[in-house]
Amino acid sequence: MKLYGSYTSPFVRHVRIVLQEIQQPCEFIETDQAGSAAKSPTQRVPFLEDGDIFLTDSASIIKYLREKAGQHFCQSAQELDQLCLVNTALDATVNLFFLKRDGVVISQVPYLQRQAARVHTTLAELEQSAITQIAANGRFNDAQLRLGCFMGWSKFREQIDFSPFANLENFYRQICNYPPFNTTQPPQS
Ligand SMILES: N[C@@H](CCC(=O)N[C@@H](CS)C(=O)NCC(=O)O)C(=O)O
């Protein structure tokens, strides 16, 4: 099995966490933009090859890996909805990050202002929701792992100030103690 990705991507990090949890050996192939453009129709990472199987999105990859290990990916519609909420905010934040890096001024483009507003209303919703409550057994579900990856990446890239969101910050402090999360941090330079 081969996972193509980068050590900084939050989507790839979620897959790497799942690989550790299920203790599945997998070759990691570091892939830049030219590599993903050559090998995946989405021109993004992650993507996964396992024999004849080729998967192009972190969600389908995680579902595949969990099911291979006899586990579920998102047990309920509510958990899936929480994961989708986090993902909406993550996608928008990544999109704004790349646009800013290319010199686009977010405040000058109405659609991009909506993207930024979407991130903040989603964070406000997550702050009030059950996603920040950690199970008594100390395990994290996939919506919570995605939230941790989103927060870690946003902090690493200095994209979001989470200080107004006390529940989210408290959640982040706790997930940082979870070994598969801790050992998959983006490289600190
Ligand atoms: N929906 C995709 C999103 C993946 C994604 O956005 N990956 C980013 C890296 S963080 C990427 O490869 N971006 C390259 C680009 O947009 O050109 C997933 O969940 O796998």
Same domain, 59 and 86: no
Quote the CA–CA distance of 156 and 171 in Å, as a whole number.
Answer: 17
Q: Is 35 in the pocket of ligand 1 (CB under 6 A)?
A: no
Instruction: Choose the final residue of a domain: 41, 68, 95.
Output: 68
Residue range 130-154: mean pLDDT, rounded: 97
**Domain of residue 50, residue span:** 2-68
Assign residue 57 the CATH number of its domain: 3.40.30.10
Residue range 129-158: mean pLDDT, rounded: 97
Atom of ligand 1 nearest to the CA of 8: 10
Neighbour-count burial of 97, counting CB atoms closer than 10 A to its CB (0-12 exposed, 13-18 middle, 19+ buried) = middle
Number of domains in the chain: 2
Quote the CA–CA distance of 162 and 141 in Å, as a whole number.
Answer: 21
Ligand 1 site-directed mutation target among 3, 11, 39, most atoms within 8 Å of CB: 11
- Asked if the structure places residue 19 within a domain, the reply is yes
**Percent of the chain's residues with pLDDT above 90:** 98
- Asked if the structure places residue 163 within a domain, the reply is yes
Same domain, 51 and 96: no
Same domain, 48 and 115: no
* This model's pTM is above 0.95: yes
**What confidence tier does 188 reach under pLDDT thresholds 50, 70, 90?**
confident
CA 5 to ligand 1 center in whole angstroms = 9
Structure confidence by residue, pLDDT tens digits, 22-81:
999 999 999 999 999 999 999 999 999 999 999 999 999 999 999 999 999 999 999 999
**What confidence tier does 174 reach under pLDDT thresholds 50, 70, 90?**
very high
- Asked if the structure places residue 187 within a domain, the reply is no
Same domain, 82 and 174: yes
Residue range 160-177: mean pLDDT, rounded: 98
Same domain, 81 and 38: no
CA 44 to ligand 1 center in whole angstroms = 4
CA 20 to ligand 1 center in whole angstroms = 21
- Note the pLDDT of residue 87: 97
- Asked if the structure places residue 44 within a domain, the reply is yes
Residue bearing tokens 């990916």:
73
Instruction: Choose the final residue of a domain: 21, 40, 68.
Output: 68
- Asked if the structure places residue 146 within a domain, the reply is yes
Q: Is 9 in the pocket of ligand 1 (CB under 6 A)?
A: yes
Atom of ligand 1 nearest to the CA of 47: 20
Same domain, 89 and 161: yes
- Note the pLDDT of residue 159: 97
Contacts of 14 (CB under 8 A, 6+ apart): 58, 62, 142, 145, 146, 149
- Asked if the structure places residue 166 within a domain, the reply is yes
Q: Minimal CA–CA distance to 17: which of 119, 150, 189, 129?
A: 150
Atom of ligand 1 nearest to the CA of 153: 10
